[in-house]
Structure 1
Amino acid sequence: MAADPYQRAVAEAARVQADYIEQHPFVESIMKGTLTPAVYAAYLRETYHLVTQTPYFLSAAAAHSDEEWLQDWFLDLARDERHHNRLCVRDLKKMGYDPDTYLGTIPGLGTWTMVGQNHYLARAGNPVGIIGFAAATEGLGAALAPKVAAAMRQYEFAKDALSFLKVHSTEDQEHIETVRKGFLRCAEDSEAYTVMVAAWKYTLRAYAQLFTDALERGSSDLAAAAPRIG
């Protein structure tokens, strides 16, 4: 029996995820026990900038969608994604960082790309493309976050700073079914399918860049003595 459109998209995206995410040096450092506090903090900072914008571009997508069910779909997800930036702030504080100072820098290329992509899709492109973004991020959260959260327990510096990863390893398991249903409903239109899959693949590549940014910026922060509380 032929795979449904969602399963076809999963198969297409799997190749990108394998090439760009699964063997990324950031992920490997977590699993091998070589992650540093500065790099983990930089990851939280990049993530903070991304999740701060997520409810806004989801709400904008709802405002620019014509179908009521799709408006509701975006708004429901936007509601669920609210305040996740506070989890990053909490984790940084637990690590001794001063969020007011540390979060003041602009995001790196990976976050910048995802935020720009999704605001573009919401307002000037095709809002359904954001379902592809959601498929990528929720899929990563469901598949990768539980493994990463488990591996992070080996780090003393992170033992009280895992709230973001723990929440997403649980919530994304639930969200992925919502994403699948929304994807299938939109995929009846071939143009919508194309833009959703493109956004899915682009998001995975941008997420890999976010990991690279965390590695590079974390090393820079360490050399510059990133601000800490106390």
Structure 2
Amino acid sequence: MKEQIWARIDRLTKTMDTVNWDDPQIYAAYMAQTYYYVSHSTRLLALAAGLLPLSAGPAHQRFIKHISEENRHEVLASRDVTALGYRVEDFKELDTVKAFYRLQYYMIQNVSPWSLLGYIAALEALAVRGGPAIHERVCRRHGEKTGSFLKVHSAEDVEHVEQAFAMIESLPTDVQAAVWENLEMSCTLFEAFLRDLPLAYQTTTLVAGQATPPAAEGKRKAG
């Protein structure tokens, strides 16, 4: 299954490559959406950990440990948005992002708690495959302080993705099928929200008649 997962992630990475990361508003929109879905990471892990069978002790403990590793990572995304001169609330939570994480609650509770591994593998494999290049690009264009979330996940997720793959490959075939189904749906929804990024900016949250946030305007003049 590892090869199958990497092939799907390569397709997702190609969609990531179409995003205009040089546009500060688009990149800020992406990090705002990241804030929205990452805010659910520890809750999803806790839910799945609680529903795993008692016989799955090592997996249960791994999920619990993962909670501490992911704790407050949404704050990193929020800081990146601020460093770009925006606020998270300047960007609405896209419907495709809501569907992205709400799917996980459904799959955990109605299909299998193991299915969360599909979501985990998708995000962590994407961070490993596409994260370093995007991190380098945004830091070069927008400054080092705007890339904290990508920096952390590009480094940490190398180990995490191998752990996720090993756990997936240890599962029975029928459970692997649920993991794969969730991974495929998660990738599709992630691609959808990438396409929707231009729709996220809410000018109504700004002062009337002001085209850009003050911080963003100041940065542009300084450059």
- Same-fold status (TM-score > 0.5): yes
- Paired AA for residue 57 in structure 2: E
CA distance, structure 2, for counterparts of residue 51 and residue 98 of structure 1: 16
Q: 1:102·1:226 contact (CA, 8 Å) conserved in 2?
A: no
2:66 to 77, 89, 114: 77
CA distance, structure 2, for counterparts of residue 190 and residue 89 of structure 1: 39
TM-score scaled by length of structure 2: 0.84
**1:42-81 matches, cutoff 5 A:** 42-66=29-53, 67-81=56-70
CA distance, structure 2, for counterparts of residue 56 and residue 133 of structure 1: 13
Give the unaligned 5+ runs of structure 1: 1-8
Structure 1 stretches of 4+ moved >4 Å = 224-230
Q: What's the CA shift for 1:46?
A: 0.5
1:69-113 deviations in Å (ceiling 9; x for gaps): 2211221212211111000111122122234x436x3x2133212
Q: 1:42·1:217 contact (CA, 8 Å) conserved in 2?
A: yes
Q: 1:44·1:92 contact (CA, 8 Å) conserved in 2?
A: yes
> Cα 1:213–1:29, aligned 2, differ >3 Å: closer, same or farther?
closer
**1:1-230 matches, cutoff 5 A:** 9-19=1-11, 21-24=12-15, 27-30=17-20, 35-66=22-53, 67-99=56-88, 101-102=89-90, 105=92, 107-155=93-141, 157-186=142-171, 189-218=172-201, 221=203, 225=211
> Cα 1:217–1:185, aligned 2, differ >3 Å: closer, same or farther?
same
TM-score scaled by length of structure 1: 0.81
RMSD, aligned α-carbons: 2.5
- Paired AA for residue 164 in structure 2: V
Relative contact order: is structure 1 or structure 2 higher (C-alpha 8 Å, sep ≥ 6)?
1
Give the unaligned 5+ runs of structure 2: 219-223
1:199-219 deviations in Å (ceiling 9; x for gaps): 11111111111211223324x
Aligned residues between the structures: 210
